[in-house]
Amino acid sequence: MKRLAEEELGLSFRFDAMLNPRCDCSQSPLAVRLSPEEVVALDLMDPERINALREFAGRFSQTRTIGHQSDGLYVCGGGAYSFAVDPYGSLRMCVLSPEEGFDLRRGSFQGGWDQFLSRERDRKIDRKSKCVRCALRLLCGMCPANGALECGDPQQPVDFLCRVAHLRAHALGWDVAPHGECEYCKVAHLR
């Protein structure tokens, strides 16, 4: 695919090895998901990807502590800078969110944006998990939608995402301070 895109079509190529459950929460796509070790091995084979990860880490390194000091459930742009509308006319925080939506057939977009999405954005973390104090929180991809899709709980850490983030950090030489009951903070567990 990479060769076809770049050499034959003159296009840039990018892949995303992170597969999610389906929006109906079916876990069937996970049967073909790569292991965390395979994901990071692919990262390491691509110098452009490594540079992009380092650049991203540099951009967020100054805000590493912000993610875990916030008590907000949402640290992404969902419902603040973006939204999704599903095929049934429900306004949602993002395209992945299996959570309740706002029915645009029964109310206005402005009402959905101002009341529903605003209320969702204001939701607070009510259970402390290892994610709350993790310096990799902004890098790993854990969000309420991923927690709800994979674990049935928007606040439940997704083990796959946690392991990928820690393996990437280890491979790139980033120090990660221990942050609670995280089995991946110990380098010995990553090998």
pLDDT digits (tens, 9 = 90+) for 66-113: 334 568 888 888 888 999 999 999 999 999 998 889 999 999 999 999
User: What would you report as the CA-atom Rg of the chain, rounded to the nearest whole angstrom?
Assistant: 18
For residue 35, the 8-state DSSP code is: P
Number of domains composing the chain: 2
Residue 48 lies in a domain: no
d(CA 146, CA 161): 9
Residue 37, domain member (yes or no): yes
SS3 132: coil
134 and 94 within one domain: no
Q: Is there a single domain that holds both residue 87 and residue 102?
A: yes
Judge whether 62 lies within some domain.
Answer: no
Domain that holds residue 135: 20-26+33-41+128-191
Per-residue pLDDT at 130 exceeds 90: no
- Dihedral, CA of residue 59, residue 64, residue 70 and residue 73, to nearest 10: 70
pLDDT at 77: 85
Structure confidence at residue 61 (pLDDT): 59
- Answer whether residue 167 is part of any domain: yes
Whole-number pLDDT of residue 154: 92
Of the candidates 76, 80, 119, 75, the one whose C-alpha atom is nearest the C-alpha of residue 101 is: 119
- Position 191 scores a pLDDT of 46
Q: Helix, strand or coil for residue 163?
A: helix
Q: Give residue 60's pLDDT band: very low, low, confident or very high (50, 70, 90).
A: low
pLDDT value of residue 189: 42
Whether residue 119 is found in the same domain as residue 133:
no
8 falls within a domain = no
Residues 134, 183: one domain? yes
pLDDT at 145 > cutoff 70: yes
Cα 180-37-44 angle, rounded to 5 deg: 110
Can you name the residues that pair with 92 across neighbouring β-strands? 84
